[in-house]
Amino acid sequence: MSEIVKFTGNNSELFCRECADSLHAKAQVIVPETHTVLLIKDGVVSEALQPGRHDIFDTENGLFRLKKDSDCATVDFVFVSKTAKLQMLWGTSSPIKTRDPMTGVPVSIGVNGELEFRVKTPKKFYLELVGADTEYSVDKLKKRILSRLMSVIEPAIAKSMREQKISYTEFSENKSTLSESIKSQISELFATEYGLELCSFMVMGAIISDADIMAIERKRDEINRNGRTCPVCGTSIAANAKFCPECGSSLADVFCPHCGHKLGAADKFCANCGKPKV
């Protein structure tokens, strides 16, 4: 019968699963400094064990029920790494349909990048993304994360572009700014929903059709000729309009032409970005 369970996996892996048969009542598990261990029996996950030597069957410490020396048991041990990081590429499966923040022109855009994460809360990570899947693989994990992640990334990109008033023709030069903005929006999701720490997030590139680029440029030329746009969303508006047809903002109010912040009548500089009123 097994007496000692040790980690035999690769330290570069997020986790590995060990199955021990015929464990007797005095069996122990040795957890290395680099890992946390989840004990699983009959599909139920026990608490996580930190580095050290632990009795497996010990009611006083809250593990599995106390067993007699003559009893045997089979237990799964999931060794979860504290240090291993997994890097993966991400990308929109279909174009994001949105509007160019500066001109209001409808566009379809594909975005891609890469991210890196590690396990922060082992039990949550296991329950949400792995579970009873005995055929776990890195590719399968990436697919699971990606399918859930894109529903968050896509609106986050559109939101960041809109709030920062970045035209999609200026996407490349603003990748770093967008990366930081989107990372802050999805970091909490990784931690609370999946038990993961998002170590890095990068927007690498965007794909936008020549037709959409030309439409944005034509609209920009039109705006420059007419000289009247909504100060909040950038949409071209009629000279006698009282409200923006795109975002509904009142055009009677005065907004900063640089960041869209509402200004007071006596303000000479914007209280939000510090730039002059005109």
- pLDDT tens track for 103-154: 888 999 999 999 999 999 999 998 888 876 666 677 888 888 888 888 888 8
193 CB-contact burial (10 Å; exposed 0-12 / middle 13-18 / buried 19+): middle
For the chain, the straight-line distance linking the first and the last C-alpha, in angstroms and rounded, comes to: 82
Q: Would you say residue 1 has pLDDT above 50? A: no
Query: What DSSP designation does 264 have?
Result: -
- From the list 75, 73, 83, 74, the residue with the least C-alpha distance to 32 is 83
Contact 142, 90 (CB under 8 A): no
Residue count of the chain? 278
**Cα–Cα distance measured from residue 216 to residue 204, given in angstroms and rounded to the nearest whole number:** 22
With a threshold of 0.75, does the pTM exceed it?
Answer: no
Rounded to an integer, the average pLDDT of 221-239 is 67
Residue with tokens 């590429």: 89
CA distance 29 to 53: 6
